[in-house]
A = this chain, B = another copy of it.
Amino acid sequence: MSSAELYINLANICSNWNALNRLSNGSAGAVVKANAYGLGIKEVGISLAKAGARDFFVAVAEEGMQLRQALGQGPKIYVFSGHMTGDTPLIKNFDLIPLINSAEQLLFHVENSSNQMIGIQLDTGMNRLGMECAEYEALKDIITQLNPELIMSHLACADETSNPMNERQLNYFNEITNNINCRKSLAATGGILLGKQYHFDMTRPGIGLYGGKPYSSSKNVVKLKLPVIQIRTVLAGETVGYSNTWTAKKTTKVATLNSGYADGIFRCMSNKAMLYYNEIPCSIIGRISMDLIGVDVSNCKEDPDSLWLLNDKQEIDDLAYDANSIGYEILTALGNRYNRIYI
């Protein structure tokens, strides 16, 4: 096989969802935006629906369409970007619930799809997405009449448990939504861990489903095995890869692997990250190329025919450390050339 193999453990995603659902005061939805964090919205969506998830969140209406086609009627599908120009047919035909982010979107929705349910997304301090609270106050009567399915906001610093921003956003959300009779949601994975007062009627776990921080009890979901194309011996003083950024200090056995930054293995991990052969860590040496990586396999007793970039010893957050990134970005960068194997 010349393709690398990406193993995606759907059972562990469901197990993580079940655990986070049990932790939640109300019910847990499931965030499956960005192709379920790169892991396949169709496969992940169907598995989570079977596990009992009834509320799904996507970033854009096109993702909502894909998910509805996979799930059929029944589960609710919320769209974070709300109702944008051009979304109307998708919202109607695939029964999506736009999370309205502004007075403009509210007006646009009422004019174009007044029979479709809505949710309201409030900005409580992150200044990213959602209706400003003053705007919401001014529109409250209209919004109440529209009988929204959900009112929600998003925490900016939920991963930092002691950040006072969390309590500020919580208090603000409580204050503003005090008088409206509808389901409420504030917490994503980090917010679930902040405590029950952040949970309201529905939580929205995302990264915790896929094995990433800050939910430390989450089960690992992805493993990635890269095949070796060839192995060579380089002598002391010889260089490896583009621009000769690595020079052998002693005789070294170098494996060339069949994946590179075009597969989402960030180039900035050159000369930094490790791969694994059984228990043995093997360093990336030289620059990561578009389709190829050089790895020092001198410590392996036999010539490996493949190495693991992600496994139970090196999970997404471990690898993210070498890329100065976060587990989320490791997941969403996972490439299209991998042979994806669902478990």
Instruction: Give residues 124-157 of A contacting B (CB, 8 Å).
Output: 125-129, 132, 156-157
For A80, list chain B residues within 8 Å (CB). Answer: 291
A328 adjacent to chain B (CB < 8 Å): yes
A145 nearest CB across to chain B (Å): 22
User: Is A110 an interface position by the 8 A CB rule?
Assistant: no
Is there an interface contact between A261 and B2, defined as CB atoms closer than 8 Å? Answer: no
Contact partners of A262 in chain B: CB under 8 A: 33-35, 37-38, 59, 332
Let me know if A104 is at the binding interface, CB within 8 A: yes
A291 engages B59 (CB within 8 Å): yes
- Chain B neighbourhood of A234, CB < 8 A: 127
Residue of B nearest to A82 (CB): B229
Q: Given A244-B156, A262-B38, A329-B261, answer yes or no on A128-B86 (Cβ-Cβ < 8 Å).
A: no
A284 to B328, CA, bound (A): 20
CB distance B239 to A127 under 8 Å?
Answer: yes
Flag if A243 contacts B33 (CB, 8 Å): no
Taking the complex as formed, is A162 at the interface, i.e. its CB lies under 8 A from any CB of chain B?
no
In this assembly, does A336 line the interface, its C-beta being within 8 Å of a C-beta of chain B?
A: yes
Contact of A60 among B84, B86, B258 (CB under 8 A): B258
Most buried by B among A87, A286, A290, A328: A290
> Which residue from B2, B82, B241, B268 sits with its C-beta under 8 Å from A81?
B2
CA distance A324 to B268 in the complex (A): 8
Task: Type the 1/0 row for A233-247, where 1 means its CB is closer than 8 Å to any CB of B.
Answer: 010001111111000
Cα distance A61–B227 when bound, in Å? 14
As a 0/1 sequence over residues 161 to 183 of chain A, the CB contacts with chain B under 8 angstroms (1 = contact) are 00001000000000000000000
Are A258 and B132 in contact, with the CB atoms below 8 A? no
Q: How far is the CB of A254 from chain B (nearest CB, A)?
A: 6
A15 contacts B by Cβ under 8 Å = no
A258 lies within 8 A of B337 (CB): no
Q: Which residues of B contact A267 (CB under 8 A)?
A: 325-326, 329
> Which partner residue on chain B sits nearest A34 by CB separation?
B262
By a CB distance below 8 angstroms, the chain B residues around A84 are 1-2, 227, 229, 258
Return the contact of A229 from the options B129, B229, B292 (Cβ within 8 A).
Answer: B129
Shortest C-beta distance, A132 to chain B (Å), equals: 6
Contact with B along A215-252 (1 / 0, CB 8 A): 00000000000010110101000111111100000000
A84-B227, A128-B294, A261-B328 are known contacts; what are 19 more A-B pairs with Cβ within 8 Å? A1-B84, A1-B86, A2-B60, A2-B62, A2-B84, A2-B87, A37-B290, A59-B291, A63-B337, A104-B230, A127-B234, A127-B286, A129-B230, A129-B256, A156-B241, A264-B333, A267-B325, A290-B332, A336-B336
Question: What are 19 A-B contacts defined by CB distance under 8 Å?
Answer: A2-B60, A2-B81, A33-B262, A33-B290, A59-B290, A81-B229, A82-B229, A101-B230, A126-B242, A128-B294, A129-B292, A156-B241, A165-B244, A261-B328, A261-B329, A267-B325, A267-B326, A267-B329, A268-B268
